[in-house]
Amino acid sequence: MKPAIMMATVASQHLFRPLPAPREVHLWFLFPEDVRDSSLMKIYRNLLSSDEQKKVLDCSHVKTQNERLLARTLVRTTLARYGMVEPSSLRFSTNEFGKPKVIWPARMEDNKIWSPHSLCFNLSHTQSLLACAVTMNGEVGVDVEESDRKLSRNLMSLARRRFSPEEADWLSHFEDSTEQRRRFMQLWTLKEAYIKALGTGISKTPLKDFTFALKPCVYARSYLERAVGFPAHPQV
């Protein structure tokens, strides 16, 4: 799968974006700390459905409210770019495990009912980073975690509980604790993203039930830096 990196500005919601090519995934990133304008936040709230607005307000913590608001706004404005529709016109359904799917608005084009794009998307967010992945005609999953996330002091014990035996053994070969932690997070996010692409959830597909063989590769952080031309955010 070939990635294309975009830094999202949700304010530019009407900028058209060409559809992903076959076997291409578009990754949109947004840093919540860069969005501080209260007037923009009000505009973003109006893009959401009443159910989405309720879910945003269900949390009493303002920072978490803003995080949820920006996450939903990122999804709407990103997908709207591809379909050339208003972000507020999009609707969403979910499968039995809660994975969302976009429902495009009905409209006429060249005197015919518009045939919507077969876009698949997935969202992940933390306090400092939001990511939205988009593909054509194929499921996709994305997962982001804070680089300084608190983990168990006994990392290998956690790995043996959550990962497959082969993955835990692979992780045990890293003697440097910093490198071992980095590899743990790399594997964790990879497995989470895979489950999100399947759309089944951890309860249906436990992390231990499948194995990734990690080989030397270009890390997402260095790829991102080359793609955008400047150092990646510290939390990426």
Average pLDDT over residues 162-170: 95
- Separation between Cα atoms, residue 166 and residue 159, nearest integer Å: 10
Give the span between the Cα atoms of 39 and 213, in whole angstroms: 47
Residue 43 lies in a domain: yes
Asked if residue 228 is part of any domain, the answer here is no
Domain boundary among 136, 163, 187: 136
Q: Answer yes or no: do 18 and 75 share one domain.
A: yes
Residue 86 lies in a domain: yes
Question: Could you tell me if 127 and 47 lie in one domain?
Answer: yes
**Confidence band for 18, pLDDT divided at 50, 70 and 90:** confident
What gap in Å lies between CA 207 and CA 197, rounded to an integer?
Answer: 13
Integer Cα distance of 3 and 26 in angstroms: 6
Mean pLDDT to the nearest integer, 134-146: 91
pTM beyond cutoff 0.85:
no
Q: 106, 122, 136: which is closest to 23 by C-alpha? A: 136
* 181 vs 219, residue with greater confidence: 181
- Whether 224 is covered by a domain: the verdict is no
* Candidate ranges 84-98, 106-120, 216-230; pick with highest mean pLDDT: 84-98
Residue 226 is which amino acid? R
**pLDDT band per the 50, 70, 90 thresholds, residue 235:** very low
CA dihedral 124, 126, 128, 132 (to 10 degrees): 10
* Residues 108 and 187 placed together within one structural domain of the fold: no
Residues 165 and 77 in one domain: no
Number of domains observed in the structure of the chain: 2
* 89 and 185 fall within a common domain: no
pLDDT of residue 230: 52
| One-letter amino acid of 224 | L
The pLDDT of residue 3: 58
Q: What whole-number distance in Å separates Cα of residue 124 and Cα of residue 135?
A: 15
Specify the higher pLDDT residue, 117 or 179.
Answer: 179
Residues 13 and 101 in one domain: yes
Q: Name the residue type at position 154.
A: N
H or E element that contains 64: helix 62-83
Q: Are residues 93 and 121 in the same domain?
A: yes
Q: Which residue has the higher pLDDT, 87 or 137?
A: 87
| Residue 163 DSSP code | S
- One domain, residues 38 and 91: yes
Of all residues in the chain, the percent with pLDDT exceeding 70 is 81
183 and 128 together in one domain: no
* Residue 230 lies inside a defined structural domain of this protein: no
Structure tokens at 189: 């996010």
- How would residue 172 be classed by pLDDT, with cut points 50, 70 and 90? very high
16 and 71 fall within a common domain: yes
- Whether residue 131 is predicted with pLDDT greater than 90 in this model: the reply is yes
Residue 35: give the domain boundaries.
2-136
Model pLDDT, residue 116 = 67
Confirm whether 141 is domain-assigned.
no
Same domain, 178 and 123: no
Residue 145 in domain: no
Residue 236 falls inside a structural domain: no
96 and 166 assigned to the same domain? no
Domain CATH code at residue 53 = 3.90.470.20
pLDDT tens for 50-86 read: 999 999 999 888 888 999 999 999 999 999 998 888 9
